[in-house]
Chain A
């Protein structure tokens, strides 16, 4: 029987080891898997590379991990939204590295990884400092830079409903990076508001097909 439902958040994050590359879904607070992040914090995992759109706000989520000294590097598009002083302080103190890239490039590098593609040419960032050190080419009069696929060991995502095969739906704009991170990571862990019986999700409404998801856990622990 194919059963990806985990009994607890602790069990869901238990495979994450020190030094892991972990993708974290979310844009603003929408789609951030706060409960999984708390479980990861409690687990004490260190030396993490976090791949996410932002670098956390206040002292919650990614910022909480940074504050506790668990993060070695952040790979993101925008580490400086309002209330992101935790990252700024750690970065200026040399406690955390930053790799910053355009948001569309971040997403597309994940897609390339999940879709089995190699490097790809994108026009975003051509002629800017993002292009430095990368292969550049002008094709049909338009400039491009070569970007690499972005893989991860784990993805932590917040979905809405999930079933035991790993099929997921997302609420509204909390979807954002969830589907592509599930594809790009070797081991995607989804926290859901509710686990539903197989067949309850309409096949045409599934947004992350279960093949991309390894673990599903209800945030209340409910089944």
Chain B
């Protein structure tokens, strides 16, 4: 049976729909930024941006654009009613101090012990660039990583031990990939849900460390509008 890997938009849709009403969330730069496009309209979800915004709205257009109101990716955004702005030490206290419910990050590599590498590759030409990633990786109650299940060269990104320098040690709680949703548990990678048409054996082949099915593992399907659910 064949399967259709999730697009980045579909992964974003799944992540967005798993936040409970009232969550405070930071979306990291890169793939996580797209999550804001799919936040359910019937839930109040407060977005934090590391440059000091709590209650960030959507991307600004036309007359709304004010270059002093930007997100972490430096794009102009709007503010929600009730938004607040703080200086940098307060903004990072929100992260490091454990006040955020979720932090969503991109990833190069994740290990079964929750280690995350997402800030620098081992390439000879790589220049260190950390930004807010290390603070986001340790502070939130739950850390979600969004990434493709395998790298461009088809090697696993979920692996026994990270080979790139770590962003945080033992920090990841959940991983959303184009093939599956995987929880980090004391027993390692546990599959919460996987794509329709995929077998656990096939998923294991694309994963660099042992995986096991959750007792209530579900299947990720697409509904009539084409939105993924599980």
Residue on A nearest B29 in the bound complex, by CB: A81
Please judge, given known A-B contacts A30-B70, A124-B134, whether A79 and B52 are in contact too, CB under 8 Å.
no
- Give the distance to chain A from B103, nearest Cβ to Cβ, in Å: 12
17 intermolecular pairs with C-beta atoms under 8 Å apart: A27-B70, A28-B51, A29-B70, A30-B69, A30-B70, A77-B129, A102-B135, A103-B92, A105-B134, A107-B88, A124-B139, A128-B134, A128-B168, A143-B169, A173-B69, A178-B87, A180-B88
B89 close to A127 (CB less than 8 A): no
Q: Is B222 at the interface (CB under 8 A from chain A)?
A: no
B67 close to A30 (CB less than 8 A): yes
Q: Which A residues are in CB contact (< 8 Å) with B95? A: 104
- Give the distance to chain B from A161, nearest Cβ to Cβ, in Å: 13
Given pairs A77-B130, A79-B128, A173-B85, 4 additional interface contacts (CB within 8 A): A28-B51, A80-B127, A103-B132, A108-B92
Q: What residues of chain B have their CB less than 8 Å away from a CB belonging to chain A?
A: 49-53, 66-70, 74, 85-89, 91-92, 95-96, 115, 125, 127-135, 138-139, 165-170
Please judge, given known A-B contacts A28-B74, A104-B132, whether A128 and B165 are in contact too, CB under 8 Å.
yes
B85 close to A77 (CB less than 8 A): no
Residue on B nearest A78 in the bound complex, by CB: B131
- Give the distance to chain B from A74, nearest Cβ to Cβ, in Å: 11
Q: Which A residues are in CB contact (< 8 Å) with B128? A: 79, 98, 100
Inter-chain CA distance A30–B129, complex, in Å, is: 19
B129 close to A79 (CB less than 8 A): yes
**What 5 pairs across the A-B complex have the smallest Cβ distances?**
A127-B169, A104-B92, A28-B74, A104-B135, A78-B131
B85 close to A175 (CB less than 8 A): yes
Interface of B is mostly: loop
Please judge, given known A-B contacts A111-B89, A124-B96, whether A27 and B51 are in contact too, CB under 8 Å.
yes
Residue on B nearest A87 in the bound complex, by CB: B127
B69 close to A103 (CB less than 8 A): no
B165 partner, pick from A31, A77, A78, A129, beta carbons under 8 A: A129
A88 close to B134 (CB less than 8 A): no
A77 close to B132 (CB less than 8 A): yes
B129 close to A100 (CB less than 8 A): yes
B87 partner, pick from A29, A171, A175, beta carbons under 8 A: A175
- Give the distance to chain A from B171, nearest Cβ to Cβ, in Å: 9
Please judge, given known A-B contacts A127-B170, A180-B87, whether A173 and B51 are in contact too, CB under 8 Å.
yes
Residue on B nearest A179 in the bound complex, by CB: B87
Q: Which A residues are in CB contact (< 8 Å) with B130? A: 77-78, 100-103, 130
Interface flags, A19-31, vs B, CB<8A=1, else 0: 0000000011111
A172 close to B66 (CB less than 8 A): yes
Inter-chain CA distance A143–B89, complex, in Å, is: 21
Inter-chain CA distance A171–B138, complex, in Å, is: 30
Q: Which of A27-47 contact B (CB under 8 A)?
A: 27-31
Q: Which B residues are in CB contact (< 8 Å) with A174? A: 68
Inter-chain CA distance A90–B80, complex, in Å, is: 41
Among A30, A102, A180, the most chain B Cβ lie within 10 Å of the Cβ of A102
- Give the distance to chain B from A157, nearest Cβ to Cβ, in Å: 11
Inter-chain CA distance A172–B55, complex, in Å, is: 13
Q: Which A residues are in CB contact (< 8 Å) with B51? A: 27-28, 30, 173, 176
B129 close to A78 (CB less than 8 A): yes
Please judge, given known A-B contacts A30-B67, A30-B70, A128-B165, whether A173 and B89 are in contact too, CB under 8 Å.
no
Residue on B nearest A130 in the bound complex, by CB: B134
Q: Which A residues are in CB contact (< 8 Å) with B165? A: 128-129
Q: Is A209 at the interface (CB under 8 A from chain B)?
A: no
Q: Which B residues are in CB contact (< 8 Å) with A127? A: 115, 166, 168-170
Q: Which B residues are in CB contact (< 8 Å) with A122? A: 96
